[in-house]
Structure 1
């Protein structure tokens, strides 16, 4: 997970005075705007909860108003601080940290509405299957469906949908990559319905490879309402269970090559259209990856002793990186014999004292489900379960490292794009693969 503070904005108090606020982006998408003192309040609460000696140092306070250069220095320091926080798995799993982010998102958008985390219980999906699914933000363009991102634990579905441009929807999709898990999910009628609905849509939009005869068989099964038989046939088809991205470009086999990429079955699938109209494809099982804004690069063994970096340029580069990390975690979980966590095993305790930008505070409970942060000065607000699943829980073994200072300045004064290198793939050996 990549946190950044790419810019600031000048905001005005009700009394007319101004202050500098910092825009936090998560995985390349704007999340919230906060003040220095709000982050300092979060730091103090994390110190009490986790111990100050294990947290990164918080940027010191200045006594006098900041000059433009000092403001930029503070932005870089705060960005480094929150990035270091996000590298600590205890912080990502911490309810105070997640409660702060969802409260800050609510305050930034000043929106009402419920968190709607309990969608799985509303549709009566069993607890043991809840973490096999997640909420996704998708965009519909003509006949295509573009998956924008998976909602994180600290995101309000209502706000996330409202603050983006275009026709976006929140959908419930499966959140695993091992096709064998289908068998467990399909034993439950609600799980079967969810998989069936998603598969029908994937077939209709061409994400699953079919021919006329297969299409005829699938249509006949669909007309009869034979969902399990439909799924059994679909699961045997090529690209079943793959998430298809928008067409983009890569540097393989040559620079600026148009490519259609799908993620599934623990690999990235590349399809390249040749000059003669034929389509060539290759499957990449990634060993190491890094993400730089709109680019995803991964290291691949082309041949014996020939390791190369393949670079993909796409607005969905962060999503691709997150999919790869999910595949790795799934393999590690399976290798260690661990089972997927259920909501009943999650324990929330205590509360968060959330400081608003105007300096007032509200007490946010962390052990109930309910509404979002009230904006009317109320003293207590339950936030409860913040989304369907916690990415942090599923990436507990991943180590996302930054190899250089974030937003370092180029010689022309522009910010250098930050790099997040994912070394999770380094801890996998051939024995980890099926």
Structure 2
């Protein structure tokens, strides 16, 4: 997670005692409502983190407990602001924000807030061609659990699961071709489902007030590989992964997202009829327009104010397409030249809030600041973070990063925290010990939130040069 804010709080009736009122804080994660959580539950998580991380848990202080349980509006707002600053600071610590304690706690917050029936259910995960795959799961299964179940159904090797992701998507309003919209499956990704949430619950929440089924969001599976060389090395020998890549490439071709000559299209059509997916993908890799996630259009101040641009992310770069002097022009922004990026929004509560995504781009000896008005700023940030991780893995010639933590550090405060264990939202059995008890080499931060309040500013690729590509 890269963004947490708590814009509001509310008073509810306790589910277990209709005569008791409780105050809950509305937590938004990565730009979307996540859960409404009591202060006591958040405090218990804080205590668990102290037990596990000790002095490494730096940043803003957790809002203290009060003698009087019934707080007035001013005190509740102060607590809300304090909680927001605490969690915004918390996610700037890489080994804390990636730790399973955080993921498990936020998953439990969502499940507890939504209160779904904890029984076997099913969700539809759509392939790139629009074909739905029914996945049997539990309502409290996390995104990674659901993704692994989907990959088993598709016969994708387990080692390749991390090269795909689940996304909430909606029907693309701006059609990229002249065909009837119902002929082709044309959905645009709006949110990347992460492991701190349940896909079943997140989908139900986003569709809660949408009565028209045609306008409802769906869960899509998409590749999250940003270099065709990595894709070819890792996935082409896995039939399940190869089939998924083929379906996504075919859908992109049908929507003219990949610029191909008539001769190449004929050759690809022949290979498609022969089910020669490997050769099909090898030809696609040779075209520079392959491998991009096409998002919704943005309003940019580059090259001029209020320029409407088609926004693409792929091949470790951002591509802007816009009309300039009557001609379709495109600008290529290499990811390794993006010095920092920043997310901000005008109104955290309004449904019509406008977000902006700003980057500092290195041009020669100078820096150019570009600002884009888009409500997909968080998704773009996650894509850039994923690109950074891929570059780092490539530089180290390692498999997808496995994060390990040194949880053997004990502090004097542990004895003072034992009294809170019985009310913990997280079971003690969840604490993870380092496999060999030794200190692990710290990774250089690729993604960092600079300030504790919005806007969030992030530094990336600081330790990567052009020679690493």
Same fold (TM over 0.5): yes
User: Are 2:195 and 1:153 equivalent residues in the alignment?
Assistant: yes
The answer for the alignment partner of 1:424 in structure 2 is 460
| TM-score, length basis structure 1 | 0.81
Distance 1:310 1:424, change over 3 A: same
Unpaired runs of at least 5, structure 1: 368-394, 407-417
Which moved further from structure 2: 258-267 or 283-292? 283-292
Instruction: Answer yes or no: is 1:87 the counterpart of 2:92.
Output: yes
Mapped partners of 2:284, 2:447: distance in 1? 35
Pair 1:53–1:242, CA change in 2 (3 A): closer
Find out whether 1:25 has 2:28 as its counterpart: yes
CA distance in 2, matches of 1:398, 1:360: 32
Q: Which runs of 5+ in 2 are unaligned?
A: 122-137, 174-180, 208-214, 346-354, 408-417, 432-442
Q: Is the 8 A contact 1:131 1:342 kept in 2?
A: no
Q: Distance in 2 between matches of 1:171 and 1:419?
A: 29
Matches within 5 A, 1:320-399: 320-341=380-401, 363=427, 397-399=445-447
Distance of 2:424 and 2:105 partners within structure 1? 14
Q: Does 1:63 align with 2:99?
A: no
Higher relative contact order (CA 8 A, sep 6+): 1
Is 1:45 the equivalent of 2:48?
Answer: yes
Tell me how far apart the structure 2 counterparts of residues 70 and 81 of structure 1 sit (CA, whole Å): 16
SS in structure 2 of the partner of residue 148 of structure 1:
strand
Write out per-residue CA displacement over residues 121-171 of structure 1, whole angstroms, 9 at most, x where no aligned residue. Answer: 343322321211222222124643110121111111111111113422222
Indicate the SS of the match to 1:214: helix
Change in Cα spacing, 1:202 to 1:265, as seen in structure 2 (3 Å) is same
Please give the secondary structure, in 2, of the residue aligned with 1:279. Answer: strand
Pairing of 1:252-271 with structure 2 (within 5 A): 252-271=302-321
Moved more, 214-223 or 38-47: 214-223
- 3-state DSSP of counterpart to 1:23: strand
1:14-413 alignment to 2 at 5 Å?
Answer: 14-51=17-54, 54-56=57-59, 57-64=61-68, 65-112=70-117, 113=121, 114=138, 115=141, 116-119=146-149, 120-141=151-172, 143=181, 144-165=186-207, 166-184=215-233, 185-276=235-326, 278-285=327-334, 286-293=338-345, 294-302=355-363, 304-341=364-401, 363=427, 397-403=445-451, 405-406=452-453
> How far off its partner does 1:248 sit?
1.3
Mapped contact 1:129–1:342 kept (Cα < 8 A): no
Deviation at 1:430, TM superposition (A): 2.9
* Alignment partners' CA distance in 1, 2:22 and 2:444: 37
Shift of 1:300: 1.6
**Partner SS, residue 45 of structure 1:** helix
Equivalent-residue separation in structure 2 for 1:89 and 1:421 (angstroms): 15
The 1:364–1:396 alpha-carbon spacing in structure 2 relative to 1, beyond 3 Å, is: farther
Structure 1 residues 171 and 36 mapped into 2: Cα distance closer, same or farther (>3 Å)? Answer: same
Q: Do 2:45 and 2:425's aligned partners in 1 also have CA atoms closer than 8 Å?
A: no
SS at match of 2:383: helix
Number of aligned residues: 383
CA distance in 2, matches of 1:289, 1:361: 34
**TM-score under structure 2 normalisation?**
0.75
CA distance in 2 between partners of 1:397 and 1:362 (Å): 28
Per-residue deviation, 1:187 = 1.0
The 2-side partners of 1:176 and 1:90 are apart by 23
Task: State the alpha-carbon separation in 1 of the partners of residues 426 and 297 from structure 2.
Answer: 46
1:58 offset after TM fit, Å? 1.7
Rate the CA distance shift 1:167–1:44 in 2: closer, same or farther, 3 A.
same
- Are the equivalent residues in 2 in contact too, given 1:131–1:341 (CA < 8 A)? no
Taking the aligned partners of 1:296 and 1:228, their CA distance within structure 2 comes to 37
Cα 1:32–1:197 change in 2 (3 A) is same
Deviates more, 1:214-223 or 1:177-186: 214-223
Q: What CA distance in whole angstroms lies between the structure 1 residues aligned with 2:291 and 2:10?
A: 42
In 2 relative to 1, CA 53–130 (structure 1 residues): closer, same or farther, beyond 3 Å?
closer
Separation in structure 1 between the aligned mates of residue 218 and residue 261 of structure 2, nearest angstrom: 30
Change (3 A) 1:60 1:271: same
Structure 1 residue 215: Cα displacement? 2.8
8 Å CA contact 2:147, 2:165 repeated in 1: no
